[in-house]
Amino acid sequence: MTDQIKKAAVIGSGTMGGGIAALLAGVGVDVLLLDIPARDTKPGDPAAKRNAIVNGNVKTLQSMRPAQLFSADDLGRITTGNTEDDLGKVADADWVVEVIVERLDVKQSLMARLAEVVKPTAIVSSNTSGLPISDIAAGLPESFTKRFLGTHFFNPPRYLNLLEVIPHAGTDPDAVAFMLDFGKNVLGKGVVLCKDTPNFIGNRFMSMSGMQAMNYALDHDYTVEEVDALTGPLIGRPKTATFNLNDLVGFDIAVHVARNLYPAIADDPAREVLNHPASAALSDELLKRNWLGRKTGQGFYHMRKSADGGKELWALNLKTFEYEPPQPVSFESVEKHGRVKPLGERIKRLIAEPDRGGQYLFHLHGFYLAYASQKVPEITETIVNIDNAQKWGFAHEMGPFEIWDAIGVAAYVEKFEAAGYPVAQWVKDMLASGVSTFYQRDAHGVVIGYYSPQAGAYVSVDHDPMEISLSDLRARGDAVLEQNDHGIIYDIGDGVLLFQFRTKQNTITGGLLDLGFQALTLLEQPAWKALVIANEGERFSIGANLADAMGAGIEGIEAVTKKLQDFGMAMRAAPKPVVVAPYNMTLGGGLEITMSAHAVVAHAELYAGLVEFGVGIIPAGGGCKELLRRVVSPVADRGANVLEPLQSVFTTIATAKVSESAKQARELGFLRKTDKIVMNKAHLIGEAKQYALGMAKTFQPKDVGMIWAAGRDAYAALNLGIAGFVESGVATEYDGFIACKLAYVLTGGAISQPGWVHPQVILDLERKAMMELIMEQKTQERVMYMLANNKPLRN
């Protein structure tokens, strides 16, 4: 059995297969990507002709948005071929994953061919979304089937966290353990172990609960807009909610999955939700009209022109099949409780309300939670797996058993059953034994165990030492050293401090920076070895809070800007390692803090950028200084011409480039080659801690490091380019005005001769330029427009 994967073969190069290939290449695995040979070709024809399908799909892969590749360089790890001429090449692969059409006979035929060519240690898997793994492996030698299992990714594989691993009865436990570990620690996935049952966990629940949501809406005359208003962020689910999600996925796919699932679950008492007469009639009509969603231009929604010439989303009237203009949606229950936090308490209040909103959500959750209870241990061994599948596969904030704990398990058993949603007997047995919640929590509310129907008791949660939860540390309290309204300083063990932002969207404020200075002061004490700066929440930091900044007045803006600059310099001068762990959106001041650290441990999904130009200013918290240090100064140090890297830095800032990955952030200069990229978001803080401890063993304080200032000739060259952009209409005159300020800063104030300058020179120039720009009427218009419309103004 293989103990590592250096080379993989992906068979099937469509959207999913190409996405899996891109993911594997992104983590350093060489990939052989195969598809069927092009029609009207024969063996012996040129490879380019034979491989037209796979090569065309790879070309499409390069242009897909959101990007499937972490970096264009990852393409170098993907080689292509076809399943007739090149199947023998899979003999070199440590893992072969099949991603072909969802037909059992076709998959079985491929597996029979693979059994003859794969090496004896290779793992082979199917990415089927629901066909029985045992059926795909039927009739093949035991030497092959013991290394065969299901590995079901969710589309797109790079972005959706869930990976379902599905062994059949004959799969070697070592193969299962290896794929669980590889999925989690190499691919960075949230891995769930499923039983070999129809549609596994994710798609089983998506089909059943999705159809029930539609059925109830049709039976009780809810509109498309009403359902989507109730089933999105209000209850901790994505904005796509129910009907919009069908449009996104393609309604034909949803219907196909549901209709295939129905005969496969003959013993499931709830399966009739898949065969509801009104939903079946609706499905048939939409399929007949080819109204399948976004891919056909219309489905449950249709984008239309509004009266003012703009665009607006019209919703389908489910009775008349006419599209109607947007209508306001209002429910008394939502008005009363829609802003309640935490989410569990909000759901608890909503489902208790008697109005139409409350009743819809009661029945939605009644079916969903009761059905979840019926499926343990049928489709998976633990409640945790079901909760995680919903959270990781569909971006739900809470899983069904977490929700049930929040609303009260005992309070809803009889209510759900009275409404026609039978609850599993083990839940009643659990309550009768005196256990009142599915999850066991300590005195601080931190989960330490979960109820096992098989054991009839709580079992402990397996703790991954690399997973450090700041919310758990905060709940327990004993790790909190200092805090204010803007942030917290923790002791995360082994002599490591952690500084967390706690502002709205983790924005940079004066109070936050004050606490940051306290963290640096603490770091000087002998007890501490290193400082990690890390956050929780959807985004690492979106930078400055524009509304607060504008309200602070000119003096207040300059004071916070100077404080941010000083904090960055203090980080660099710290006597012990300072490591930042950014992820997702890391913009403006958040990126400037990141770049000021001694090292960065970044999540692979890092969308970093200095975006100040869009609101009429330039980076002034050290961003210009740091890009010059990283991109321009090393070239000057070699005695080479700096104009090209200087233009690159100028373009990065002037176009407000935002990376599409951590790898791309490195290419833009936001990360260094020595900075670490982590695939598993749950491991980010743990990895940053270990990296900091490793640095601490040999760390020597950094000097300030001089910056190369290219001077007036470079300034003139940049200005010439700016003038060309303005004259051609690519940039507005005010864009050009801002760009000239930026060029002045990046060239060291257009000094007469190029040379090395102290970083403070660049910092002073940054701050001066920003303050001059903030006084300009057009900049103020840009800021206010961004605050009002969340998009830039080109004035």
- What one-character-per-residue DSSP string does 245-314 give? HHHHH-HHHHHHHHHHHHHHTTT-TTGGGGG-HHHHHHHHHHHHHT--BGGGTBSSEEEEE-TTSSEEEE
Let me know if residue 441 belongs to a domain.
yes
Q: Is the pLDDT confidence value at 317 over 70?
A: yes
Answer with the one of 415, 438, 463 that is the final residue of a domain: 463
Averaged confidence pLDDT in the chain: 96
Domain that holds residue 241: 199-299
164 and 23 share one domain: yes
Neighbours of 638 (CB within 10 A): 9
354 and 375 share one domain: yes
258 and 156 share one domain: no
Q: Is the pLDDT confidence value at 766 over 70?
A: yes
575 and 503 share one domain: yes
Mode of pairing for the β-strands spanning 190-193 and 162-167: parallel
pLDDT digits (tens, 9 = 90+) for 72-116: 999 999 999 999 999 999 999 999 999 999 999 999 999 999 999
691 and 600 share one domain: yes
Answer with the one of 193, 208, 235 that is the final residue of a domain: 193
Element (H, E) at 499: strand 496-501
Let me know if residue 372 belongs to a domain.
yes
Q: What percent of the chain has pLDDT over 90?
A: 95
Let me know if residue 770 belongs to a domain.
no
The residue-averaged pLDDT of 351-366 equals: 98
Residue 3 pLDDT grade (very low, low, confident, very high; cuts 50, 70, 90)? confident
**What CATH number has the domain bearing residue 14?**
3.40.50.720
**What CATH number has the domain bearing residue 281?**
1.10.1040
pLDDT of residue 310: 81
**What CATH number has the domain bearing residue 685?**
3.90.226.10
Let me know if residue 406 belongs to a domain.
yes
19 and 100 share one domain: yes
429 and 482 share one domain: no
Residues in CB range of 764: below 8 A, 6 or more apart: none
Let me know if residue 693 belongs to a domain.
yes
In DSSP terms, which residues pair with 332 in a beta bridge? none
3-state secondary structure 138-171: CCCCHHHHCCEEEEEECCCCCCCCEEEEEECCCC
- What one-character-per-residue DSSP string does 37-88 give? PPTT--TTS-HHHHTHHHHHHHHHHHH-SS-SSS-GGGGGGEEEEETTTSGG
395 and 521 share one domain: no
167 and 209 share one domain: no
Answer with the one of 193, 211, 241 that is the final residue of a domain: 193
125 and 179 share one domain: yes
Helices 777-789 and 759-774 cross at an angle (nearest 10°) of: 80
Please give the tally of structural domains in the chain: 4
Let me know if residue 676 belongs to a domain.
yes
70 and 171 share one domain: yes
Distance CA 96, CA 502 (A): 44
268 and 398 share one domain: no
Residue 1 pLDDT grade (very low, low, confident, very high; cuts 50, 70, 90)? low
Let me know if residue 737 belongs to a domain.
no
Residue 297 pLDDT grade (very low, low, confident, very high; cuts 50, 70, 90)? very high
pTM given for the model? 0.95
pLDDT of residue 575: 96
Let me know if residue 311 belongs to a domain.
no
